Amino acid sequence: MKGRGIRLPLYVTVTLLFGLKTYIVYRFLFSLELENSMQEFILFINPFVSAFLIFAISVWIKKPVRQMKYLRYMALIGTLIIYANLVFYRSFSDFITIPQLMQGDNAGDLGSSILSLVKFYDVFLFADVIFIWYLSKKYQDRVVTNYPRSGKVCALALSLALMVGNFFLAEMERPQLFTRAFDREYLVKYIGLFNYHVYDAFLHSKVKTQHVFADGSELPAIKEYVDTVIDQDGHSELFGVAEGKNVIFISAESLQSFVINNTVNGQEITPFLNSLVEDEDTYYFENFYHQTEQGKTSDSEFLVENSLYPLPRGAVFYTHGQNDYHALPEILGEEGYYSTVLHANNDSFYNRDQMYPSLGFDYFYDQEAYEVTDGNSIGWGLKDKPFFEQSMKYLETLEEPFYAKFITLTNHFPFELDEMDMSIDRYDSNSNTLNNYFPTVRYMDESIEDFFTLLKEEGIYDDSIIIIMGDHYGISSNHNKAMSMYLDKEEITPYDHVQLQRVPLFIHIPGHGEGTVKSTISGQIDIKPTVLSLLGIEADDIYFGNDLFNDDRKEYIALRNGDFITKDYIYTNDSCYDFTNGEVLDEETSTSCMEMSETVKKELSYSDDIIYGDLFRFIKFNKEKY
């Protein structure tokens, strides 16, 4: 067939097909918000720019067979990268980072969670790869490229010029794009998935060197910030109210606040937790936000134990499990507390077997401590009811006072539950995830009620305080259409999305009698200083949260992506919204809101510096001041 018809170089064909496919994924399978025609244009061109840069390299390969192999395998590898991000995005509304890839050994535990994210039409993502494979084999002599050196240089120069042009448009439309690296959606939208991964690799190498070159000189600025912005004056009225009592902490998997005091199909979703809201021994925080990022449950643990922010990329449990910390279990241990975690999953998941000793926990009752059978497990493992039942024999043996953390499993994506365990009906919407969520939430609610009964029967209840906290969201923004239907809204706005990051927090103090509903703007960063205050413990420490019962608090709660909430407004997507009604504030009214965003960035940065530099290794807490 040589010499007949038009000879179209294969790298051009691959660029067009691959670029078009990538754009379709961006536009219709990722939920990337486009605010104007320029953003639409940038989103359209960046897949072709990235593809041309990758595939134009093939013109420098002289041997036709190797040139064809390069194009075939790069198309396949590129498609696999797109698909991996697509599956990840369906679960987390986020993109993969290198630290996330380091958690690859977790994949073996995901099971049906991953399978539920695979769609039948995904096979079409590989259609162009098959076509390219066919062309490169059948018509190699017609599609191979044999440019002179000038032609090769021209192809390379053109690809680089297109990339520079893409970056220039991106920077015009989104100033400081590369300094806001925690916002991965913006990076993908403006420079493309593959350039994002290159940039992510650069960031990864940068933060790895931060530990090597850290020498503790960063600490004075951090300490000054904490003393000025974070530190509180005096104690709250509840300081020492639970002195000497056990601390039982329940991390309620994927529990969001919108289910509290709410119904589905006319049925109460969380009757027991609702009763706690009205309980005179319980403080319920209705404006309490999760602050996790890619580490999800492990991030919430990190926040609770350290009052430091999780990292913007990956899970700190994995990336910095060997750091020196001054965590809640360590501080409590110095006060005579025995600390333990009970969680019916394997000990290596999220690197817990390495991280827990670094945090100061004395023991971890993992999957091996439980009798797990086909009959009492589903989804991610042991169901919550048998989990609490089987945990009692360990709780009864602990020397008091103790700090025991329970991590539930059943209310985990994809929210599977046996029919015999369902007490309420599924919801009816276009989202199976949301539909299944309500029965598993109800099951968890019942399991916590049963656990309270067991604590009372075994005589542990009266000498303990019990904290119940949702660890992170359960329903991602991928299900906004169904959520808007359930919440009876026309759409889920950016303001609504932030408000959906609220998770329940109950602090139950048996016999206290002064509990109430608190509207305090608060977050997981506040748990550590609050627990220490309730127990009457003062510690030499560095943290970014406040005692929830102290009125002398910083004005905002920062989310890990840079959004923040105050009693007056919510900042997200570079806009400020009225906290009460969700209306966008005008430029004049939002001045103080915009100024506070700089403080939030600084706070997140200081927390990152502590972790990346392992700065606590330079401090001797409780021994000498620095």
Q: Which of 297, 340, 440, 530 is catalytic?
A: 297
Cα–Cα distance measured from residue 136 to residue 69, given in angstroms and rounded to the nearest whole number = 8
The distance from CA 407 to its chain's CA centroid, rounded to whole angstroms, is 17
Q: DSSP string spanning 200-238? A: HHHHHHHHHHHHHH--STTHHHHHHHIIIII--SS--TT
With beta carbons less than 8 A apart as the criterion, state whether 472 and 91 touch: no
Conformational region of residue 335, where left means phi above 0, alpha means psi within -120 to 50, and beta covers everything else:
alpha
Distances (CA, A) of 384 to 416, 447, 450: 12, 6, 10
Q: Are strands 517-518 and 282-285 parallel, antiparallel or unpaired?
A: parallel
Beta bridge partner(s), residue 522: 288
DSSP state of 116: T
Other CB atoms within a 10 A radius of the CB of residue 388 amount to 24
CB atoms within 10 A of CB 552: 11
Cβ pair 277, 519 in contact under 8 A:
no
Active site residue 179: no
DSSP string, 365-396: E-GGGS---SSSEETTEE-HHHHHHHHHHHHT
Q: What H or E segment, with its residue span, contains residue 13? A: helix 10-24
How many Cα atoms are found within 13 Å in the side-chain-facing hemisphere of 563? 25
Catalytic residue annotation: 297
